[in-house]
Amino acid sequence: MLGWRFRFAGLVTGAALALGGCDFGAQPPAFKSTDVTGSAIQPAFRLVDHTGTPRTLEDFRGKVVVVFFGFTHCPDVCPTTLTEIALALKRLPPEEAQRVQVLFITVDPERDTPEVLAQYVPAFHPGFLGLTGDAAAVAEAARSFKVFYQKQPGEAPGSYSMDHSAGTYVFDPQGRLRLYVGHGQGAEVLAHDIRLLLAQTG
């Protein structure tokens, strides 16, 4: 089991993003997750997807983009989150689900090659993309999202796990970071908020 550290880091990240995007004089948001519109952070990446295609965030303009950082050896939070995202897409009409791109960015590029991601990520949903790169590219992407991750030695020699932030980031079709979804908020929250973003952009 991954410990409390990444859960706490996720909560801290969410709070920081929320404060960065708050307008305390505005009307309460309609979103069920944390509205971080206007956050000062500038997420970006230059990675390779599980088909071997170079990718940047700009490649997905015109879609709602859902981004989660994790790793394929994760025993609980990562598969749970990917399952919840897949369930959220199933709650959408097919024409809306087609306007959503889910990206799983590994924090374990040492083990998560494109070939490994190609086996793991589409198992949750055929439209999901896994992204990886060298250690420097992954670290740069994580920094831009304010994502924490750290290797933790395992019991067996050479084995390890990864502590990491557990939140999900949602961008509107214009490429703007709009939402931070805390771990465990559930498929209904994500589906509701994706539909609002799609409705806002037609």
Spell out the domain ranges in the chain: 4-20+34-200
Residue 21 near residue 178 (C-beta atoms within 8 A):
no
Strands 64-70 and 100-106 turn out to be parallel
In the annotated binding site for Cu cation, the residues are 74, 78, 164
pLDDT at position 106 = 97
Structure-block tokens of residue 52: 């071997």
What does the CA dihedral 45, 69, 143, 109 come to, rounded to 10 degrees?
-70
Residue bearing the bigger pLDDT, 11 or 173: 173
The CATH fold of domain 4-20+34-200: Glutaredoxin (3.40.30)
Q: Which residues pair with 177 in a beta bridge?
A: 171
Q: With 60 as the cut, is the pLDDT of residue 164 above it? A: yes
Q: With 90 as the cut, is the pLDDT of residue 156 above it? A: no
pLDDT at position 7 = 45
What does the CA dihedral 146, 11, 96, 41 come to, rounded to 10 degrees?
-30
Q: What is the mean pLDDT of residues 121-149?
A: 97
User: Rg (Cα) of the chain, in Å, rounded?
Assistant: 16
Residue 69 near residue 147 (C-beta atoms within 8 A):
yes
The single residue listed with the structure tokens 């771990």 is: 183
| Banded model confidence at residue 201, pLDDT cuts 50, 70, 90 | confident
pLDDT at position 80 = 96
Return d(Cα 132, Cα 106) in angstroms, integer.
6
Return d(Cα 27, Cα 79) in angstroms, integer.
35
pLDDT at position 21 = 46
pLDDT at position 199 = 92
pLDDT at position 27 = 59
In the annotated binding site, the residues are 74, 78, 164
pLDDT at position 200 = 85
| Banded model confidence at residue 9, pLDDT cuts 50, 70, 90 | very low
Return d(Cα 73, Cα 8) in angstroms, integer.
20
Sign of CA dihedral 70, 48, 140, 56: negative
